[in-house]
């Protein structure tokens, strides 16, 4: 009985410690953005890594999501004789919800895991100690460009995902199901408001911060992993980073939706 | 007193802990300007922890570390920044940034801390690479270098800002005897060419005896002796003679405790 309570207490304390560490970590990264010298080259490199190199998976997943959504909505709407509204249904669900969430999930898989593993290996190989000893702030040099690049890239990738999804819906609706193309586009223009677009941008920015923050933080604190070290510790924190990012992202999605709808 | 014999670093009553475990006990050590001091000891003796404390990567629980007159433990960010710019650190595995080429790694401190133009930076980098016998390797990535080359590249980066003091962690660890001797010669050459104070952490006896002006021997977190190579060789302390003669530590087994541990959980 006492052992169970003791274990519970220990895990609560450890979780609180981790939350504290991660919050302090984010604070240091944000503060370091304003430090000098800031390397725009590094920022561009990270934008290329997070943004440009993610384009293929964003294009493919966006296209198929839009096509599947169109099939589902066509089937449901045609039963009540409203298949003409398919365009607005596809666009609204993409812009408000599926675009930001699916883009974030794709980026967690591609960027989150890679960033976490890279940072964890840098930590294990004393690269952060080396930066500190060279009087170079690791938060500014390594973390800040990644955070900024994510905040810039993720909303853009989300917008591309939404557009490609709408195109996927067009292909299914207009080319396969013989809906009127102009009507498809017009229902989208009528249905999507500025507040929908704002929701998409706000959510994608929040998700960008969550993905990169958790991935970098988990990697940076790899030495806190108990009972493991080296490759096993890197693999464990990478898994944790992916799972934590996804769950936190979905939780924040609910909170953001409840405020923004 | 010549400038060379002035105390440059003073470690006073330094104690350090990992959790509840005391890993350094009341260390007192003086490192003079211009000398090569080797910190020697077996595995787990606390030499790497002492180095981390001197580099400011760990904050000591008790005691202080002074660089000239600056107490590192109480220094503000600006003072620490200035101090670190006058230091060079060569890590055991090189600790080169894996995303940068060898050349970019060596150029990094110059790009971050100086306003020198790229041409000058490239010339300075090439000079240091020549000094380390690494000419022509600047476009390679760290993953393409051998262990010895990584250490030399790390050393090149450590001295690129012409530091007043160089810390070198385990220069010979994991290297073949020839490369190890080459690195020892390089350390001596660096001191002669750049007149810097050098602190080397190692457990390699031959290397320590070759390069050291003085040696500090650590054992189980305690500083046993600090002295010249001859003083260390003539020391009669059992802990030092065991280290020099490579005598394995006697494993002492408490019979009762051993039996208890074996039978624990069996009942």
Per residue in B51-63, pLDDT tens? Answer: 999 999 988 888 9
Are A120 and A237 in contact by the 8 Å Cβ rule? The answer is: yes
Predicted pLDDT of residue A2: 72
Of residues B73 and A202, more confidence is placed in A202
B113 touches chain A (CB under 8 A): yes
Tokens of A112: 């989150």
Predicted pLDDT of residue B178: 83
Q: How far apart are CA A155 and CA A133, in angstroms?
A: 36
Residue spans of the domains in chain A: they are: 40-260
Chain A residues within an 8 Å CB radius of B143? none
Predicted pLDDT of residue B5: 60
DSSP state letters, chain B:
--GGGSEEEEEEEEEEEETTEEEEEEEEEEEETT-EEEEEE-TTSSHHHHHHHHHTSS--SEEEEEETTEEGGG--HHHHHHHHHTEEEE-TT----TTS-HHHHHHHHHHHH----HHHHHHHHHHHHHHTT-TT-TTS-GGGS-HHHHHHHHHHHHHTT--SEEEEE-TTTT--HHHHHHHHHHHHHHHHHH--EEEEEE--HHHHHHH-SEEEEEETTEEEEEE-HHHHHT---HHHHHHHTTPPPPPP--HHHHHHHHHTTT-
Chain A residues within an 8 Å CB radius of B109? 134-136
Evaluate if residue B267 carries a pLDDT over 60.
no
Predicted pLDDT of residue B247: 77
Q: Which of B80, B81, B95 sits opposite A130 (nearest CB)?
A: B95
Evaluate if residue B39 carries a pLDDT over 50.
yes
Evaluate if residue B42 carries a pLDDT over 80.
yes
Predicted pLDDT of residue B239: 87
Which of A31, A45, A125, A223 to mutate: most B Cβ within 10 Å? A125
Q: How far apart are CA B25 and CA B119, in angstroms?
A: 49
Q: What is the pTM of this model?
A: 0.87
Are A84 and A183 in contact by the 8 Å Cβ rule? The answer is: yes
Q: Which of B87, B98, B99 sits opposite A133 (nearest CB)?
A: B87
Evaluate if residue B1 carries a pLDDT over 50.
no
Cβ-Cβ pairs closer than 8 A, A with B, add up to 56
Evaluate if residue B43 carries a pLDDT over 90.
no
Evaluate if residue B2 carries a pLDDT over 60.
no
Predicted pLDDT of residue B240: 85
Chain A residues within an 8 Å CB radius of B91? 126, 129-130
Mean of all residue pLDDT scores within chain A: 94
Predicted pLDDT of residue B10: 92
- pLDDT tens, A42-56? 899 999 999 999 999
First-to-last alpha carbon distance for chain B, in angstroms, is: 70
User: What's the gap between Cα B119 and its chain centre?
Assistant: 32
Low-confidence ranges of chain A (pLDDT < 70): 1
Q: Could B92 and A37 be called an inter-chain contact, meaning their C-beta atoms sit closer than 8 Å?
A: no
Predicted pLDDT of residue B127: 93
ipTM over 0.90: no
Task: Tell me the C-alpha to C-alpha distance, in Å, between residue A134 and each of A109, A128, A130.
Answer: 33, 10, 6
Going by pLDDT thresholds of 50, 70 and 90, the confidence category of residue B235 is: confident
- For chain B, what percent of residues have pLDDT higher than 90? 51
Tokens of B42: 């077996």
B30 touches chain A (CB under 8 A): no
A226 touches chain B (CB under 8 A): no
Per-residue pLDDT, averaged over B131-143, amounts to: 92
Q: How far apart are CA A145 and CA A67, in angstroms?
A: 35
Q: Could B95 and A127 be called an inter-chain contact, meaning their C-beta atoms sit closer than 8 Å?
A: yes
- pLDDT tens, A188-223? 999 999 999 999 999 999 999 999 999 999 999 999
Q: Is A193 helix (H, G, I), strand (E, B) or coil?
A: coil
Residue spans of the domains in chain B: they are: 94-162
Phi, psi of B98 (to 5 degrees): -70, -20
Predicted pLDDT of residue B69: 81
Mean of all residue pLDDT scores within chain B: 88
Radius of gyration of chain A (CA): 22
Are A217 and A26 in contact by the 8 Å Cβ rule? The answer is: yes
Handedness of CA B93, B98, B102, B106 (dihedral sign): negative
Q: How far apart are CA B188 and CA A42, in angstroms?
A: 37
Going by pLDDT thresholds of 50, 70 and 90, the confidence category of residue B4 is: low
Determine which of A163-177, B173-187, B249-263 has the lowest per-residue pLDDT on average: B249-263
């Amino acid at each position: 009985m006492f052992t169970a309570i003791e274990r519970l207490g220990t895990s609560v304390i450890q979780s609180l410690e981790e939350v504290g560490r991660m919050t302090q970590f984010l604070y240091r990264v944000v503060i370091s953005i304003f430090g000098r010298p800031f390397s725009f080259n590094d920022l561009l490199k990270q934008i290329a890594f997070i943004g440009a190199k993610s384009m293929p998976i964003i294009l493919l997943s966006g296209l198929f999501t839009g096509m599947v959504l169109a099939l589902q909505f066509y089937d449901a709407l045609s039963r009540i004789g409203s298949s003409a509204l398919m365009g607005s249904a596809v666009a609204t669900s993409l812009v408000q919800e599926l675009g930001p969430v699916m883009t974030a999930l794709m980026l967690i898989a591609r960027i989150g895991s890679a960033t976490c593993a890279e940072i964890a290996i840098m930590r294990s190989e004393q690269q952060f100690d080396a930066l500190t000893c060279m009087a170079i702030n690791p938060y500014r040099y390594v973390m800040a460009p990644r955070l900024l690049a994510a905040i810039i890239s993720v909303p853009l990738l989300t917008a591309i995902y939404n557009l490609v999804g709408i195109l996927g819906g067009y292909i299914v609706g207009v080319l396969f199901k013989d809906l009127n193309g102009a009507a498809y586009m017009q229902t989208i223009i009528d249905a999507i408001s500025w507040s929908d677009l704002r929701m998409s941008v706000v959510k994608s920015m929040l998700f960008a911060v969550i993905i990169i923050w958790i991935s970098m933080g988990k990697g940076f604190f790899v030495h806190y992993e108990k009972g493991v070290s080296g490759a096993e510790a890197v693999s464990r924190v990478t898994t944790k980073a992916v799972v934590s990012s996804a769950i936190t992202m979905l939780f924040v999605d609910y909170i953001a939706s409840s405020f923004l709808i | 007193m010549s400038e060379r014999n002035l105390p440059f670093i003073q470690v006073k009553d330094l104690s350090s802990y990992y959790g509840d475990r005391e890993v350094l006990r009341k260390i007192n050590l003086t490192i003079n300007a211009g000398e090569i001091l080797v910190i020697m000891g077996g595995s787990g003796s606390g030499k790497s922890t002492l180095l981390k404390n001197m580099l400011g990567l760990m904050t000591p629980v008790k005691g202080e570390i002074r660089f000239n007159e600056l107490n590192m433990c109480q220094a503000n960010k600006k003072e620490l920044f200035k101090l670190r710019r006058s230091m060079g650190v060569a890590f055991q595995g090189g600790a080169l940034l894996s995303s940068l080429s060898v050349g970019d790694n060596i150029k990094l401190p110059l790009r971050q801390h100086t306003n020198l133009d790229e041409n000058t930076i490239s010339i300075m980098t090439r000079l240091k690479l020549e000094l380390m016998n690494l000419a022509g390797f600047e476009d390679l990535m760290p993953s393409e270098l051998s262990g010895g080359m990584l250490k030399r590249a790390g050393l090149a980066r450590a001295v690129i800002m012409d530091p007043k003091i160089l810390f070198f962690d385990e220069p010979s660890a994991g290297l073949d005897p020839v490369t190890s001797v080459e690195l020892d010669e390089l350390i001596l050459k660096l001191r002669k060419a750049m007149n810097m104070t050098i602190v080397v952490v190692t457990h390699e006896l031959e290397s320590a005896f070759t390069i050291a002006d003085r040696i500090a021997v650590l054992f189980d977190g305690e500083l046993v002796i600090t002295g010249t190579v001859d003083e260390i060789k003539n020391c009669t302390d059992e802990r030092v003679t065991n280290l020099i003669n490579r005598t394995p530590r006697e494993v002492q087994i408490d019979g009762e405790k051993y039996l208890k541990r074996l039978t624990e959980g069996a009942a």
